[in-house]
Structure 1
Amino acid sequence: MTESTRADSANVTFLEQTLWQQFRAVEAPGDFVHCWLALQCHYIAGACVGVVVLGEPGSGPFAPVAVWPAGESPPRDLTATTEKCLREQRPIAREGPSRQLALPIEVDGEVCGVVAIGIEGEEGDTRSLLWRLRWGSAWLETLLRRQQGQDDERQKQRTVLAFDFIGLVLEQPSFAGACSALVSELSLRMAADPVSIGFIEKGHMKLRALSHSAQFGARMGFVRHLESAMEEAADQQTVIQCPLPSSWDYRVVRAHEELLASHKAGSVLTLPLQVDKEVVGAVTVERQGDTAFSDDEVELLDSAVSVLGPILYLQRRDDRSIWYKLFDAIRMQTVRLFGPHYLGRKIASLVLVVLVALFSVLTGEYRVTSPAIVEGLVQRALVAPYDGYIKSQMARAGDVVTEGQLIATLDDQDLALERIRWRTKARQSLAEYDQALARQERSTANIIRAERDQAEAQVQLLDLQLARSQIHAPFTGILVAGDLSQKVGAAVRRGEELFRLAPLEDHRVILKVDEGDIMDIRVGQTGFLRLSALADRVLAYEVTLITSIAEQEEGRNYFRVEAVLHDDATRLRPGMQGVAKTQVDDRLVIGIWSEKLIDWLRLFVWTWWP
């Protein structure tokens, strides 16, 4: 000890001996702090008041644990000094007629509390008094470390027990087996019998397992008292022990008292099983004799049960039949939908109901959409009149030509020479015919006349072919096909197409309707066409012909449907493409949107259905 503690035993006063005896005899932490504060104030000369404030390390809240002299309240100025020390976490010394010393109590670098002492008079140096207070605070640090070690040990025991129970429950193949194994193990660990567990079913508690007992259905009174006690704890959502300890808050224990009386037990403890702050069951532990459950045992069981509750709840839910799971899921969703909370679910459900009601009556115009191309109403093919060679070209595809305009010519040199030959032969036959008549050779004259007629016919034929060597436009229109600019001098055969001519004003529309939509198309239906080249205009048309032969293009089958335009089409040109929408009828909007998907599903199911 220091000099002020009077190490010489001959000088120890009776008061000091009494304080030290009390200090050595105390067991409770609060009494320990009171005795320590009294000794500390006794050894500090002039100490008139003292207070010890303790709380959770680092965070608090902090509250006075001991005040000296006992039964008095610390003065306001000492309280202010204590609060300043807590706030600044450093020793505080205030000088004056009434000095005040405040020292933070630290454990592992975190402030756990403050000891503050008020001193009257000027006896002793403030620095030495502060050091003496620091040396004495080592007793409090030792106390706090010991309490922390005890808390850690209790936490370790709770954790080990919880993991043991979790492993025991999870290794069971069924919910009933898990409950039976749990209550039997609790009975052995806690020296209690019986231990029971129950779960809420249809609003009432139902006993599911009893320690060391496989059958308990015949013991109706026994079971009824257990279930009543469990319901009592579940209704209050708290742990109930009977007889009720004096340090606990008030609880209704009527059912537990009846349980004690009927089972002739010494004490009973019921712990609710909770999942998401909702009580789903309870565990009841009974103990014979006068040995009640200690606070440590209650805390140990409460921590274990709080972990086991969700696990047992999930096992119970998974062990049910599929129909019960379905019914429970529907019930839960119904409760969430019409009960409190879950505002987002309610809004989504309301929107869904409104949409269903709206789509049940809302109709729209159903239209078949298809690609479309503009063609001439009549197309004239201009072909080669005979076998020959291309001499020249005056127009090609895309050019507008007028009626009678020269488009191309064929080489007629061979035809002209052939005409001269036959013309010469006709004149020669005419001279021979005159000579035969002069000689009165009628038979010879007839033969020569036939040869002359043949020559005249050949000349006429060659004249016709020479006239056809010039290809003219039969009417005013636009060339939709044919380009001979790269074929001048090339040979062509008789009947080979050289050009295709379409009128300028008369057009038709070819719709490429998908095979899935062709059954909705009828002759006489109308629609609207929007072309890529004239995107600012919508052209009306009417269906006039539906072909019965499907064609394939880009991996899909389609039918050609012909339509005539009703609007002025002076700006149209054959070959323009766009999108056509043929009006069918009025249908539900939801049916219009889902028709393609439904048809695909039908075909898919039909394909894979055995």
Structure 2
Amino acid sequence: METWLAILCRQISGVASGMVMLGEPDTGPYTPIAFWPERAADEGLTAAAERALSQRQGISTGTTGSRMVQLIASPLIVNERLYGACALSLSVEPAAINAVMRKVQWASGWVEVLLRRQLQVENEEISERNRLAFDMLAAVIEAKGFAEAATALVTELAMRLACDPVSVGFVRGRRCRVATVSHAAGFGNKVNIIRDIGAAMDEAVDQRAIVLYPPQEHWEYRVLRAHEELVETHKCGGVLTIPLQSGHQIVGALTLQRPRGSAFDETTVDLCDAVAAVVGPVLEEKRRNDRNVLVKLWEAAGNQLRRLLGPGYFGRKLATLIAVILAAYFSVATTEYSVTSSAVVRGTIQRTVVAPFNGYVSSQSARAGEVVKQGQILAQLDDQDLTLERLRLTTTRQQKTTEYDRALMQHERAEALIVKSQIDQADAQLALIDEQLKRTRLLAPFDGYVVNGDLSQSIGAAVERGQELFTVAPLKSYRVILEVDESDIDDVEIGRQGVLRVSALPQEPLTYRIEQITAISTQKEGHNFFKVEAALDHLSDRLRPGMEGIAKTSVDERLLIRVYTDKMVQWAYLAAWRWMP
């Protein structure tokens, strides 16, 4: 670049000095790399070059005079990317500035060719690096297990990069253990070379950086004691160790050795670095998957414990603290345990009003939901047929009475006895008709509440003898029927107390006492229930038979955790018993 600048400055008359700045494309920083006539900083040239870089176009500045001193600068752009700038200081007439700028721009073509060649070389190196990295990745992925994958990796690298041997190791505890060595069927931990390779791997892992011996001149400082010892002891030409990284953690290292007379250049180092970056996570994943299940569990537990006791992970620590507090609280806290069940209010006794004979409904005076008094008419059956029958029987009796009197007057004793029996038969039939007429009025048996029965839509309909028409329950005498699940029936005993809340009166608790437990279960909605009868301790004026609600029967004081987990434990016992041999 200095030769090009010198040629350019000699071709343009009046040039006093020149400078070229180059840097990373578009990002910089841009630094001077070539000067003419000597390597000396010029603030004017630097300012002009920086201005051209910021504006991405040629600029010129100058001072007044017959022959002005001009500062011109032109950016160096390749493929629309800014690589740097060229700045010149010269004495020239104002009219010649454009011609000088054109010469500088034309001369920049040589720089563009140079940069393009450098880019082509870099692209080829990157392509070769990527090809090798993905070939190694394919070899590792195709392997079935960790050992096979590691062997395939070190063997391929040894063949392609002319290395002998190539070793891969992984961190176990605080040391890096060698896992596989190329061109070796087996090895032991006491072999000197394996020990020295492990030490070199530890050296690179501890520094979290690539370590090369012998080092290159422009490299940053590295501790090289283990690598130097490995080279001197085993007569190697060079040793390169690259840490393997998975996520943000160093998990192992890749060590390559070359025979005497052969060292690692920067291109090979970049190739090996690319390979390590690609295959490191895959190898670590295979290694972790091939471990024993107990080892995986132990490591997982250790990781969780370190996260819990180490720095960071505030959310995990907070959740664990809350869990410990809750566990401690539930282990000592107690509460009253009660059995929850569905319940319905029934009358202590219930009287059913039935049809006394076959007939038809004439009228209705009460229906379900109404309060009735004793003797109040609930409904009336049609008595027209009975009335006509009574009239017929009455007429017949009168006729028989007349015949009886005539037989007595004529002293026909046999005839009189026959007629007398017919009169008695008519009296019996009349008495039956009178009784049936009384029964046409269906009366309430006592003061109570009509639980069931509504004939408002059956006026004129036929009813049969014995058909249930009304159900009446007393107003001041109730019982509670509890439907206790079979899993809770063992906790319910006669004499236990509880609280009932019905849906119609949720704000009014009703206390009760268990009086009877039915020994026969019933099925409802896929569950088995036992019916338990209880008596209310006090009655509410608004309580009615048929009201449903939720009852809670008190059992005893239990641990709070037991109250919430008893049913789950019982289910687990049954499930385990079901699958046990």
| Change over 3 Å in CA distance of 1:41–1:357 after alignment to 2 | farther
Q: 1:608 to 1:83 in 2, by over 3 A?
A: same
Q: Is the CA contact 2:400–2:422 (under 8 Å) kept in the aligned structure 1?
A: no
CA–CA separation in structure 2 for the residues paired with 1:133 and 1:124: 16
Give the letter aligned to residue 191 of structure 1.
A
Match for 1:93 among 45, 51, 60?
Answer: 60
CA distance in 2 between counterparts of 1:481 and 1:215 reads 93
Deviations 1:482-525 (A, max 9, x none): 22233334443333222111223333333333333333333333
Distance in 1, Cα, partners of 2:410 & 2:570: 94
Residue of structure 1 aligned with 2:548, choices 533, 553, 577: 577
* More deviation, 373-382/254-263: 373-382
- The two structures have a TM-score, normalised by structure 1, of 0.85
Conserved? CA contact 2:514–2:534, under 8 Å: yes
Q: In structure 1, how many angstroms separate the alpha carbons of the residues matched to 2:107 and 2:50?
A: 21
* Other-structure match for 2:117: 146
Matches within 5 A, 1:46-445: 46-75=14-43, 77-96=44-63, 97-120=68-91, 122=93, 125-217=96-188, 220-416=191-387, 419=390, 425=397, 428=400, 432=404
Q: Percent identity?
A: 45
- Name which of 470, 492, 509 aligns with 2:463: 492
The separation in 2 between residues aligned to 1:486 and 1:297, in whole angstroms, is 102
Deviations 1:324-349 (A, max 9, x none): 22222222222222223333333333
1:87 partner amino acid? S
Aligned residues: 576
2:3 — aligned with what?
35
Q: Shift of residue 69 of structure 1?
A: 4.0
Residues 264 and 359 of structure 1, relative CA distance in 2, 3 Å threshold: same
Maintained 8 Å contact 2:168/2:181 = yes
- Structure 1 residue 539 corresponds to structure 2 residue 510: yes
Instruction: Specify the alignment match of 1:26 in structure 2.
Output: none
Q: Deviations over 1:170-210 (max 9, x none)?
A: 23333223222322222222222222222222322222222
AA paired with 1:291? S
Aligned partners of 1:402 and 1:475 also within 8 Å = yes
- Bigger Cα displacement from structure 2, 285-294 vs 63-72: 63-72
- CA displacement at 1:432 relative to structure 2: 4.6
Whether the aligned pair in 2 keeps the contact of 1:102 and 1:117 (CA below 8 Å) is yes
Q: TM-score, normalised by structure 2?
A: 0.89
Change (3 A) 1:410 1:477: same
Contact 2:407/2:415 (CA < 8 Å) preserved in 1? no
Task: State the SS of the aligned residue for 1:397.
Answer: coil
Secondary structure, aligned partner of 1:100: strand
Q: Secondary structure at the match of 1:538?
A: strand
The secondary structure found in structure 2 opposite 1:537 is strand
Structure 1: unaligned runs, 5 residues or longer: 1-32
What is the CA deviation profile of residues 63-121 of structure 1, one whole-angstrom value per residue up to 9, with x for unaligned ones? Answer: 2222334331121x433332222222121111324421121111111111111222245
Shift of 1:435: 7.0
CA contact (8 A) 1:437 1:445 kept: no
- What is the DSSP-based 3-state SS (H/G/I as helix, E as strand, rest coil) of the residue aligned with 1:193? coil
Q: Deviations for 1:415-471, whole angstroms, at most 9, x for unmatched residues?
A: 445556666649957985997799697x99988877766665554444333322222
Give the distance between the partners of 2:302 and 2:474, measured in 1 at CA.
73
Q: Is the 8 A contact 2:235 2:260 kept in 1?
A: no
Moved more, 559-568 or 101-110: 559-568
For the residues of structure 1 that align with 2:387 and 2:470, how far apart are their CA atoms? 25
SS class of match (1:336) = helix
What is the rounded CA distance, in whole Å, between the counterparts of 1:362 and 1:66 in structure 2?
83
Question: Which letter does structure 2 place at the counterpart of 1:78?
Answer: L
Instruction: Give SS of 1:466's match.
Output: helix
> Retained in 2: the 8 A contact 1:406–1:471?
yes
CA distance 1:489–1:280, shift in 2 (3 Å)? closer
- Cα offset, 1:130, TM superposition: 0.9
SS in 2 for 1:404: coil
Match of 2:496 in 1: 525
> 1:371-392 deviations in whole A, cap 9, x for unaligned?
3333323221112233333333
What secondary structure is seen at the aligned counterpart in 2 of 1:268?
Answer: strand
Q: 1:553 to 1:426 in 2, by over 3 A?
A: farther
8 Å CA contact retained: 1:93, 1:99: yes
Bigger Cα displacement from structure 2, 458-467 vs 208-217:
458-467
5+ residue gaps in structure 2? none
- The Cα of 1:599 is off from its aligned counterpart by 4.2
- Aligned AA (2:22): L
Name the amino acid aligned to 2:503: S
